[in-house]
Amino acid sequence: MLRITPLRRDASKAAAINMQADFYWIDDDPGPFDLMLLEQRGRRDRWIEANTDVFPDALPAVMAVIDVLTAPCGAF
């Protein structure tokens, strides 16, 4: 079984991401250090904001975006 080590609450979430991987990071409020880290690695485009406090339907909307982003070319 894969073990996942939890991050400390004050740790950078982006620091735990393998920046070489094909990922999308869904977060409602990344910290400034996290955004800077993504920017420095040229991966800022992989962050998708999903703030359900402001937009209650954010998660279904993000799921639709992920479907489009990961679909084979010409599928949509």
Neighbouring-strand partners of residue 29: none
13-40 pLDDT tens trace: 898 899 999 999 999 989 999 999 999 9
pLDDT band at 73 (very low <50, low <70, confident <90, very high): confident
Residue 42 has pLDDT above 90, yes or no: yes
Sequence-distant (6+) residues with CB within 8 A of 19 are 41, 43
pTM: 0.73
Mean pLDDT score of the chain: 88
Which has the closest alpha carbon to 48: 72, 71, 25, 73?
25
Higher pLDDT: 14 or 1? It is 14
**In whole angstroms, what is the distance from residue 44 CA to residue 10 CA?**
21
